[in-house]
Structure 1
Amino acid sequence: MNKKTILFLLAIAQGASAASAGNAGDSSAIDQLMNAAPAALAEQTLPEAVMAPEREIPASRFMTGSGSEYLERPYLLPESLEMDEAGYGVYKSVPTLYRGSAVGQASFKKELEALTGSRFTGGNSAQLLFGPDSFAMRDKLMLAAKKSIFITAYSFHDDETGNRLADLLIAKRRQGVDVKLIADGKVAMVSSRKLLNRMEAGGVEVLRWQEPGRLLDIWHVKMLIVDGRYSFVGGINVGDVYSHRGGGPKWQDYDVLYSGPAVTDTLNFFAREWNASLGGKRTPVVPAAARYGAFETGSAELSVVFQNPPHEKQILGTILKSIYGARTRINIAHSYFIAIPPLRDAIIDALGRGVEVNIITNTSKSIDAEAKHAAVPIIRSLAGIYPYGANIYLNRGENLHGKFMTVDGVFATIGSYNMHPRSEKYDSEMNVNLSGAEAVRQFDATFAGLIANAQKVEAPSDLAIPGGFVTFISNIIERYFFDMLKSPA
């Protein structure tokens, strides 16, 4: 049984427990808040006519934590957010929280900073990189590192790419470079144990991350910082499927490489997470001592956003506000697109305003084997949006593992965050937000290439679930995991 299936089944167990508690009248505050959209929105049956039904767009709700901190700055709550007895912020009116400036306006960034607690910094260079290109650039920069290499991923595969990284990190450690690594604790115990042990024996400091008291949570952040000067953030783990080495599957995934003041925020984040879990032979991160060389400069404004469920919802907030701030076009490329009610509401609202919405994601024909049971809720989620006028594209190449979105050609967000319920309930995630036409143009060009090779949905029948693909396991997963955040029937 592979690691993702294990995590899915663990999630099912907790979901089933929560569902039973809910039936007994003791559902959690989280479920009560996220199950907020009206029951009508949970209906996934396509109408016969491919057109938006005439109905009022319902209000949504949004959770966020109170009193948390991000990069040593207070988490700023909008005045319209009311706090409930459990300490969650609840909004009952979309306009008061999200209908503000258009994404192209300077005031939009200020509003987003207030919502997420993450600052925008200007003067950054930013380059979108496809998987193999990202690994080539990673190797180049790490080989030239003088002071520090800090890397984190959900999984480090024990294959050609993983062992090549291990050799490089061990060699740099012997040269006196400070090398630190964070891996998800569960994966580290299953598929990465031998590889990580070899790195530790070679002097690399390794943190096997586990959220205290939350068995199902995972560390899903993918990030690399070299000399406090360059940073990579995206959906890419360390393995042959991402680097396209080793002759096996070649997944489609992306990183953004940036240099500039935003790297300082990324470094501060890594230092905060690392220094909170010191022990054994692990030494503290001192940001000033980790830096070497001057930043490269550019025109992109960037903000680095991290969220740790269940109380923090900064990335979801970013996505929702940018969708409500859209005026012309939204492009979404996500590996496992399963829209929870607030996201579905926002997309339908944008379509009602005349915004062009384009979505590409995986289906049963392209999704990776480890996540194959997610294909059914993906299709049903798309079926709930397609009738309102969204342009849906089904990936038919190798597995799409990338996770990015652009709005109006001037705003983009990319990172580890998946648009599905697990990222809201269990997974620690990091995204980078980019503002500026020059930087975002790269993302839109990549998106155009993806949909050019995809199948465009032209009729409801294109979203039919393949015969025999609904299985006992997929039904359980959909009932107790992917549908956790749907409206109650």
Structure 2
Amino acid sequence: MSSLIWKKITYFFLLLLLIFVLLSWGILYYQNHYAIVPLSPNVTKKYLKNHQVKLLINGVNSTRQRNQNIEDANIILLKTFEFHDDESGNALADLLIKKAKAGALIFIQFDAKGNDNYPQDFWVIKNGKISPLPEPLQRLLKAYPQQVAIYPTNPPTNILTSYVDLLGVNIPIDHEKYLITWNTNKWQEPAKVIMGGMNVGDSSLLGGEKIAQGEFKILADTEDYPWRDTDVELSGPVVQEIISRFYEEANFQSKMPHAYIQKHFHANMRQGLERLKLLIHSLNEHAKTVFVPAEQVQNHGVSVNYIAKNIYQNHIEQALIHYIRQVPQHETIILVAPYFLPSKELMQALIEALSHDIQVKILTNSIRSKNKGFRQVASAGRCRMRAVFSKLASNHIKYYEYVGNSQVGFHNLHQKVWLLGQNEKAIFAIGSSNLDNQSLRINSEGMLFMQNPKLQKQFQAMIENDMQADNIHEITQKELIQTPLTQRFKECRYDWLVDFVM
């Protein structure tokens, strides 16, 4: 073959590569900038009073409360990103099968791209060749199809989303996680929601469990401890908002003509939806929601504002920035996030807070984590914080990496908890959202923003315990500046990519 032909072939493939890169960049840029929709000022003021909230400090506590709530209920709504085929996943499936046998109605939303599916699997799922459900959920649906309705969310659907899925970068996911339960035979007992950072799986739900000889459980697949994670149990008016959001998503998904839904899921999805609609109507008849402004919430239990975002929105980011700017001088902001790689806008809000003599403490995962995702974002976070430290003379910012130890039984952090001040009206939050581009701009997420001095002190005590010297490593300006250039390049590769599309 002549050299001229080889040149033409080379140019052709270079052109294809250029088109691929430009198209990839265009999709990612579109994702991030489509999200910038102004948040209504009313959203950050819409607090509901009269809530009872219990802090579930780790996976064992959350599992115990989840099981109790399911046992007491005959209506069960579960939303999760991941549902693992492991000890915790199968135990929950067994409990749900027991409840379905007793007549309970069960509704589950599960991200079709969850459970560590590879991007190439999404094409096969889309065409109906395999089910996205893990074995425990398949077992539940097969055992009691008339009692169980499953609504897979966030499926691969069209050329654009399938292309993004195949890239494996910034794949949008349905990341909210909660369990809602109530009993139609006990209307005097309120509906309850358990919400926070926990998926259904050993990595979340076994955290904090001691086994023989007082040692903590180590997971067989990762050879590491379960994650440090936190939930809350909540009852009160805001539960109805979360139930409404669950219904809206189930209704939307039930109308989608996906091949895998037609092939793998029972035909009673619509019937299940009609049942759920009637159940929600009955629940609303037994509970009246009262909206009050944030300044009038004292002495009314815990005041809660549920702020959620759909895919390609940034409502939670905008709300967080708003609340950061309300923190008074000389107070402290504490942000606990397993993935900390904030947007320019959020970082600017934190820098403004520092200029007002507000101390900022950040706790995230370590670059020594065994989890690749945690490790990658932690490295990029160091790159971003190096730039912040180089511009600031303030000593009010503290940056910590969570390393855990054998005495606490955790090496990785997965809780998403934000404390925005310490005064009587200070806001604090818990939910599913990380503080990186993926959560803030791409995923669907939900956060509970709360006000209550007593509960705020419980959150603060929990975080202070996590931030004991044996559990954390403080990243200082000196350490970041002295990092060798080769290591800096490794740390900054992912950060540069995020900056390129944000």
The residue matched to 1:442 in structure 2 has which SS? helix
Matched, 1:269 2:245: yes
Q: Please give the alpha-carbon distance, in whole angstroms, between the structure 1 residues aligned to 2:353 and 2:336.
A: 17
Superposed CA deviations along residues 202-223 of structure 1, whole A, max 9, x for unmatched, are: 2232121125553432111111
What is the deviation of 1:298? 6.4
**Pair 418,465 (structure 1): closer, same or farther in 2 beyond 3 Å:** farther
Indicate which of 77, 89, 98 corresponds to 2:40.
Answer: 77
Superposed CA deviations along residues 438-470 of structure 1, whole A, max 9, x for unmatched, are: 222221111111211312234431576689867
Letter in 1 for 2:415: G
Q: Which residue of 1 aligns with 2:36?
A: 63
Q: Which residue of 1 aligns with 2:318?
A: 317
The residue matched to 1:322 in structure 2 has which SS? helix
Q: Which residue of 2 aligns with 1:201?
A: 142
The residue matched to 1:343 in structure 2 has which SS? helix
Q: Which residue of 2 aligns with 1:308?
A: 310
Q: Please give the alpha-carbon distance, in whole angstroms, between the structure 2 residues aligned to 1:140 and 1:20.
A: 48
What is the deviation of 1:475? 6.6
Contact 1:157–1:192, Cα closer than 8 Å, also in 2: no
Letter in 1 for 2:40: L
What is the deviation of 1:281? 2.1
Superposed counterparts of 1:87-102, under 5 Å: none
Q: Which residue of 1 aligns with 2:181?
A: 226
Q: Which residue of 2 aligns with 1:405?
A: 418
What is the deviation of 1:77? 3.5
What is the deviation of 1:16? 4.5
Contact 1:363–1:379, Cα closer than 8 Å, also in 2: no
Q: Which residue of 2 aligns with 1:382?
A: 385
Query: Structure 2: where are the runs of 5+ without partners?
Result: 1-17, 118-131, 163-170, 183-189, 210-216, 220-224, 256-266, 289-298, 405-410
Matched, 1:210 2:154: yes
Q: Which residue of 2 aligns with 1:455?
A: 473
**Pair 157,321 (structure 1): closer, same or farther in 2 beyond 3 Å:** same
Contact 1:126–1:298, Cα closer than 8 Å, also in 2: no
Contact 1:363–1:378, Cα closer than 8 Å, also in 2: no
**Pair 344,367 (structure 1): closer, same or farther in 2 beyond 3 Å:** farther
**Pair 232,405 (structure 1): closer, same or farther in 2 beyond 3 Å:** same
Matched, 1:241 2:203: yes
Q: 1 or 2, which has the higher helix percentage?
A: 2
Q: Please give the alpha-carbon distance, in whole angstroms, between the structure 2 residues aligned to 1:217 and 1:14.
A: 22
Q: Please give the alpha-carbon distance, in whole angstroms, between the structure 2 residues aligned to 1:463 and 1:298.
A: 49
Q: Aligned-pair RMSD on alpha carbons?
A: 3.2
What is the deviation of 1:391? 1.2
What is the deviation of 1:257? 1.1
**Pair 243,320 (structure 1): closer, same or farther in 2 beyond 3 Å:** same
TM-score (norm 2): 0.71
What is the deviation of 1:278? 1.9
Q: Please give the alpha-carbon distance, in whole angstroms, between the structure 2 residues aligned to 1:466 and 1:434.
A: 43
193-202 or 323-332: bigger deviation: 193-202
What is the deviation of 1:187? 2.1
TM-score (norm 1): 0.72
Query: Structure 1: where are the runs of 5+ without partners?
Result: 1-12, 35-61, 66-75, 79-109, 114-118
Q: Which residue of 1 aligns with 2:281?
A: 288
What is the deviation of 1:485? 4.8
**Pair 401,141 (structure 1): closer, same or farther in 2 beyond 3 Å:** same
Q: Please give the alpha-carbon distance, in whole angstroms, between the structure 1 residues aligned to 2:379 and 2:248.
A: 38
**Pair 462,136 (structure 1): closer, same or farther in 2 beyond 3 Å:** farther
Q: Please give the alpha-carbon distance, in whole angstroms, between the structure 1 residues aligned to 2:493 and 2:143.
A: 43
Aligned length, in residue pairs: 391
Contact 2:364–2:400, Cα closer than 8 Å, also in 1: yes
Matched, 1:137 2:137: no
Contact 1:188–1:196, Cα closer than 8 Å, also in 2: no
The residue matched to 1:218 in structure 2 has which SS? coil
Contact 1:125–1:298, Cα closer than 8 Å, also in 2: no
Superposed CA deviations along residues 342-376 of structure 1, whole A, max 9, x for unmatched, are: 01100000000001111111121236234432232
What is the deviation of 1:188? 5.6
The structure whose Rg is larger is 2
Superposed CA deviations along residues 2-49 of structure 1, whole A, max 9, x for unmatched, are: xxxxxxxxxxx9994456559xxxx95665x59xxxxxxxxxxxxxxx
Letter in 2 for 1:250: P
Contact 1:299–1:438, Cα closer than 8 Å, also in 2: no
Q: Which residue of 1 aligns with 2:5?
A: none
Indicate which of 287, 301, 305 corresponds to 1:299.
Answer: 301
Q: Please give the alpha-carbon distance, in whole angstroms, between the structure 2 residues aligned to 1:111 and 1:181.
A: 28
Q: Which residue of 1 aligns with 2:4?
A: none
Q: Which residue of 1 aligns with 2:334?
A: 331
272-281 or 353-362: bigger deviation: 272-281
Matched, 1:154 2:81: yes
The residue matched to 1:161 in structure 2 has which SS? helix
Letter in 2 for 1:281: N
Q: Which residue of 2 aligns with 1:178?
A: 105
Q: Please give the alpha-carbon distance, in whole angstroms, between the structure 2 residues aligned to 1:64 and 1:194.
A: 39
Superposed CA deviations along residues 414-444 of structure 1, whole A, max 9, x for unmatched, are: 1111100111332111111101212222211
Contact 2:112–2:133, Cα closer than 8 Å, also in 1: no
**Pair 188,407 (structure 1): closer, same or farther in 2 beyond 3 Å:** closer
Contact 1:229–1:293, Cα closer than 8 Å, also in 2: no
Matched, 1:251 2:245: no
Contact 2:383–2:488, Cα closer than 8 Å, also in 1: no
Letter in 1 for 2:177: K
Contact 2:25–2:501, Cα closer than 8 Å, also in 1: no
Q: Which residue of 2 aligns with 1:84?
A: none
Contact 2:419–2:460, Cα closer than 8 Å, also in 1: yes
Q: Please give the alpha-carbon distance, in whole angstroms, between the structure 1 residues aligned to 2:386 and 2:90.
A: 42
**Pair 20,266 (structure 1): closer, same or farther in 2 beyond 3 Å:** closer
Percent identity, aligned pairs only, is 23
420-429 or 148-157: bigger deviation: 420-429
